[in-house]
Amino acid sequence: MPLDAADLSALIGLCREEIELHCEHLGRLDSAIGDGDHGANMRRGLEAVYRERDAISVLPLPAALERIGLVLVMSIGGAAGPLYGTLLMELGRGLAARDLAARELAVRELDAREEETDFAAVLAVAVTAVARRGRSGPGDKTLLDVLYPVQAELASHAAPVRIAECARLAARGTEMMLARRGRASYLGERSIGHEDPGASSCALLTMTICHYFKE
Ligand code: ADP
Ligand code: MG
Ligand code: MG
């Protein structure tokens, strides 16, 4: 999936719209098991990226993703800022390293399937970096419970609609989990029965990106 400046700029706009649309919902989810600011935090983050979209979208993709990560760290705040920031910055660094290696080996252009395999591997490393940063893993009721299955679907070359559906179900699946990380973990058993706000925002963004690639 080669991304040009117009694609990236459009995607930034769509992600911002999606978060804006669900800002209150994310806030309500976070009020139930946290401090209620996740919608506002994410909106601040996407607004900041949106303001810089013209400068960001003309960068090569790896540099653009790193920049988005940095802007997210600086603007989202809370627990989610450094986690989303790590994800995007690591994706950018991973893609940069991959491009460099490809150039050194002077490999021929990758076909679409090879590109996807490559991207899935870079995503796997980035997701691991998020887990390290949050000292969390699968089943802890966080955005990682969406990231892991999405990465697995991508690695198995699932179609965008399938990845989007997987993200949606994965976020819903956090409802029955006991939170072991972040503010929600202070509630112990009482965190069960509520969808995790970070997992929800992560699914919304994943679905937005997948729907774009479906078209
Ligand atoms: P805060 O909890 O600081 O108010 P947000 O409300 O913006 O930050 O984000 C909360 C979300 O961040 C949670 O729903 C969860 O998905 C994610 N999160 C919090 N702590 C961790 C952690 N240690 N590891 C992974 N994800 C986490
Ligand atoms: Mg919060
Ligand atoms: Mg907070």
- Residue 107 pLDDT greater than 90, yes or no: no
Q: From CA 134, how far away is CA 17, in angstroms rounded?
A: 27
Model ipTM value: 0.99
Residue 2: its pLDDT value, please? Answer: 64
Rounded average pLDDT over 12-30 = 98
In ligand 1, the atom with minimum distance to the C-alpha of 199 is 16
Residue-wise pLDDT tens digits, 172-181: 999 999 999 9
Task: State the burial class of residue 144 (Cβ atoms within 10 Å of its Cβ: 0-12, 13-18, 19+).
Answer: buried
Neighbours of ion ligand 2 (CB under 5 A): 30, 34-35, 37-38
Supply the mean pLDDT for the chain.
95
Atom of ligand 1 nearest to the CA of 143: 16
CB of 195 closer than 6 angstroms to any ligand 1 atom: no
Q: Hey, is 186 helix, strand or coil?
A: helix
CA–CA distance, 204 with 212 (Å, rounded to integer) = 12
3-state secondary structure of 106: coil
CA 44 – ligand 2 centroid, Å: 13
Confidence at residue 37, expressed as pLDDT on a 0 to 100 scale: 98
CA distance 41 to 89: 18
Answer whether 183 contacts ligand 1 (Cβ < 6 A).
Answer: yes
Of all protein residues, whose CA lies closest to atom 5 belonging to ligand 1?
38
What is the tally of structural domains in the chain? 1
Average pLDDT over residues 108-120: 84
Q: Residue 112 is encoded by which pair of tokens?
A: 């679409």
Domain span holding position 92: 5-214
Q: How far does residue 39's CA lie from ligand 2's centre (Å)?
A: 8
Q: Which of 30, 75, 202 to mutate to test the pocket of ligand 1 (most atoms within 8 A of CB)?
A: 30
The CATH number given to whatever domain includes residue 87 is: 1.25.40.340
DSSP state of 70: H
Q: What are phi and psi of 18, to 5 degrees?
A: -60, -45
- Give 163-199 pLDDT, tens digit per residue: 999 999 999 999 999 999 999 999 999 999 999 999 9
